[in-house]
Amino acid sequence: MYASAIFGFFLLVLVIIMLYRVYSLDKVERDNRVTVKKFLEDYEALKPSRYSYADVKRITSQFKDKLGQGGYGTVYKGKLSDEVFVAVKILNNSQGNGEEFINEVAIMGTIHHVNIVRLIGFCADRFKRALIYEYLPNESLEKFIFSRAIKNYLLSWKKLQEIAIGIAKGIEYLHQGCDQRILHFDIKPHNILLDHNFNPKISDFGLAKLCSKEQSAVSMTVIRGTMGYIAPEVLSRNFGNVSYKSDVYSFGMLLLEMVGGRKNIDVSVESSSQVYFLEWIYNHLDIGEELHIRIEEERDVEIVKKLAIVGLSCIQWCPMDRPSMNIVVQMLEGGDKLTMPPNPFASTVSTKTNLSKPRRVFQ
């Protein structure tokens, strides 16, 4: 009887162990199913959805709240639900051959980065085309760096540095983080949007171009970009091949505009001041003089100097002399003292003469 009791006890323990293992395996399987389901839901949510034009009118409340207007279309504020706001760009039928629409959907629908605007959906309903993006309440960087007379729009130099680093990381992702390299060709303050925490997000991929990472140059039949931000080689092949370094040039111009608080081409100021403004920045730094630009704290001086030096490095006329965005990020984040780059404003004659002299070449 004693032996049968021991046997019964071991049998009970064995049954309990087996039941526990079955329960554990079942729980793992249930957890796996939940994980897969969540992944599929998230994946589906990340893919841009297609909307009808009737949906677009409903989302925008019959185009009630206009946010802005540009050459390619008009942007309205919309609402997908009580908590999800969006920005809806209605594309002009008269502009282009649909290339911007195709670029935006094809490129933005496949990339995801914290510093790139998310494309939520699109509309292609007969002749009506629209793009639906996440809504960013602080609008564009342009408002904050060209409106310094308005006190509420002022951003600290620390915040401007963080914004510059975020933009640089976004461009670096486009150049190196995707299956194919993406050249934006229209980096400028207007196309940098800011979320509620002033985190920057690159927008407007209508002029973007795809190429392989091994491709050292891209062919172009038309000039892409906005005057004042277009790299010299995009305008004339005499300055070199068009490549990802063209985006670096545009980013450099953006940085210098952040430093100066004004456009690099500004029709509202006297021509003599306009032409020499960026060169004025270079000359002051070159001879060790301070840039007497809105400084509120002692540490601001070093931030301004860093942004200016990185910007000047990025706008070198020869593409080979510009750093890659990977190096730009390191320069902006690093604590090391940066050295002055060559003068990018030297005359064409002196530039040609200096081609034979040793120079720093960035890869």
- Residue 83, pLDDT score: 79
Binding region for ATP: 89
- pLDDT tens digit sequence for 300-346: 888 988 999 999 999 999 999 999 999 999 999 987 788 889 888 87
Q: For the chain, give every residue range classified as CATH 1.10.510.10.
A: 141-354
Of the candidates 160, 163, 165, 171, the one whose C-alpha atom is nearest the C-alpha of residue 113 is: 171
What's the pLDDT at 250?
A: 96
Are 118 and 168 in contact by the 8 Å Cβ rule? The answer is: no
The rounded distance, in Å, linking the Cα atoms of 198 and 139 is 9
**What is the reported pLDDT for 174?**
96
Binding-site positions = 89
CA-to-CA distance for 185 and 204, rounded, in angstroms?
A: 10
Provide the Cα torsion 58, 62, 68, 70; round to 10°: 90
Give the phi and the psi of residue 173 in degrees, each rounded to 5: -60, -45
Q: Tell me if 234 sits within 8 A of 216, measured CB to CB.
A: no
Smallest CA-to-CA distance from 130 within 44, 57, 225, 205 is with 57
Position 219 scores a pLDDT of: 81
Q: Is 193 exposed, middle or buried (0-12, 13-18, 19+ CB in 10 A)?
A: buried
- Catalytic positions are 186
- Give 141-354's CATH code, choosing from 2.40.440.10, 1.20.1250.20, 3.40.50.970, 1.10.510.10: 1.10.510.10
pLDDT of res. 23 = 76
**Phi and psi at residue 213, to the nearest 5°:** -70, -20
User: Can you tell me the distance from the alpha carbon of 154 to that of 215, in angstroms, rounded to the nearest whole number?
Assistant: 41
Q: Which residues pair with 91 in a beta bridge?
A: 73
Measure the CA–CA gap between 157 and 166, rounded to whole angstroms: 14
Q: Residue 337: is it exposed, middle or buried by C-beta count within 10 angstroms (0-12/13-18/19+)?
A: exposed
CA atoms within 13 A on the CB side of 345: 13
Per-residue pLDDT, 75: 93
Q: Which amino acid is at 119?
A: L
- For residue range 234-279, list pLDDT tens digits in order: 988 878 889 999 999 999 999 999 988 877 766 555 544 444 677 8
CATH of domain 49-134: 3.30.200.20
Where the chain has pLDDT below 70, the residues are 1-3, 25-46, 71, 94-97, 147-153, 265-276, 288-292, 347-363
Give the phi and the psi of residue 88 in degrees, each rounded to 5.
-115, 120
- pTM, rounded to two decimals: 0.79
Please report which helix (H) or strand (E) contains residue 50, including its range: strand 49-51
Where in the chain do CATH 3.30.200.20 domains reside? 49-134
